[in-house]
Amino acid sequence: MSMTIEYVRFACADPEQLASHRNRLISVLRKRYGSDFLGAHLARYEDTPLIDLILWASPEAAARAAEEMPGDPAAAGIFSLIGEVHEMRHAEVLHSTQQ
């Protein structure tokens, strides 16, 4: 199994509100997926769309979360802040390093 990055590019009317609720989503992901959830980064482009980069332990974990999380009642409030999803993809990590 190889680490997988979930890349999601989406619109959001209030990025600051989404960011302020981010820890709740991270908590839900940690609780539900345990060691399969490796981390997440929410970022903003200059031209407004947001991107979410989520690191998963395997492509299977990424696919499972992509299917389950949008309908998870524990994350409903957070997902209601997300507008149109422009792109969502999974990519195999070929190399990784940390400081």
Q: What is the pLDDT of residue 48?
A: 73
What is the pLDDT confidence band of residue 50, given thresholds at 50, 70 and 90?
very high
Q: Which amino acid is at 90?
A: H
The DSSP bridge partners found for residue 43 are 51
Q: What is the mean pLDDT of residues 50-63?
A: 96
Whether 44 and 15 have beta carbons less than 8 Å apart is answered as: yes
Retrieve residue 4's tokens: 């997988």
Cα–Cα distances (Å) from 22 to 27, 58, 59, 95, 96, in that order, read 9, 22, 23, 27, 24
The rounded mean pLDDT for the chain is 92
Q: What is the mean pLDDT of residues 54-80?
A: 91
Given the candidates 3.40.630.30, 3.40.50.450, 3.40.50.9100, 3.30.70.100, the CATH classification of the domain at 4-92 is 3.30.70.100
Kindly list the domain boundaries of the chain, sorted by start residue.
4-92
